Structure 1
């Protein structure tokens, strides 16, 4: 009986910690304005609630799939599509965060770069991609 109480208490602490972490992630997404920015860029502002619902459901379902080790069963094409969509989301999140803290304008001003900023951003993206490939290939 005592073990059941300890397990219930640990479960409650785990649930509370997960809720706080999830709230922090969603607060970060809200503060940096990734959802309105994506809606504005794609000219789909009328569907902003769909974006918000998709992000919340993605977070919930992704956590459940991770916790319970649910196989997606999508095959290689599905995994490629999943990886592409995840990469696009993470890229948008990182670029929104970089814009929020004004990294790019400060870098451009200090380096006195007038032409070719798109190549610098592309170099950042390629470097991140190559670094991720090296990391994931060396961790298996």
Structure 2
């Protein structure tokens, strides 16, 4: 294969991959109604446009950062905690929204007769996830 065809193939492959990943993300956001549900859970429905803009803006920022290979020349101890915190918040909120959308917790609480303790059940699950993650990162990985 000559160079122009290789470049064209890579462009088509990259475009197809981007469309597949973008379609999956849009399907996740639309089918599960994540942004409105997240706004409802956080009691900030008036700010749902801000949530949508944050998702789009974050996607665009990190796409540009990846394309142009942006580098930050700061010590890792200063740089890593903030993105780690933001990633953890995003994943936690996404998991909470997915759990709520799929009605897992209310069904589980009803079957186990723990409806009155639903808040404590969620807190126990969050604390268990935090403890498990800390164990994995601080003890098991070393």
So what's the TM-score if we normalise by structure 2?
0.76
Give the whole-Å Cα distance in 1 for the aligned partners of 2:85 and 2:7. 39
So what's the TM-score if we normalise by structure 1?
0.77
**Partner residue in 1 for 2:80:** 79
Q: SS where residue 115 of structure 1 aligns?
A: helix
Q: SS where residue 116 of structure 2 aligns?
A: coil
Bigger drift between 22-31 and 126-135 goes to 126-135
**RMSD in angstroms over aligned alpha carbons?**
2.7
Determine if the alignment matches structure 1 residue 14 to structure 2 residue 3: no
Is contact 1:32-1:97 (8 Å) kept?
A: yes
Bigger drift between 49-58 and 88-97 goes to 49-58
1:1-140 correspondence to structure 2 within 5 Å: 2-40=2-40, 41-43=42-44, 45=46, 47-66=47-66, 69-73=69-73, 76-137=77-138, 138-139=140-141
Is contact 1:29-1:93 (8 Å) kept?
A: no
Q: SS where residue 116 of structure 1 aligns?
A: helix
**Residues 107 and 67 of structure 1: CA distance in aligned 2, closer, same or farther (over 3 Å):** farther
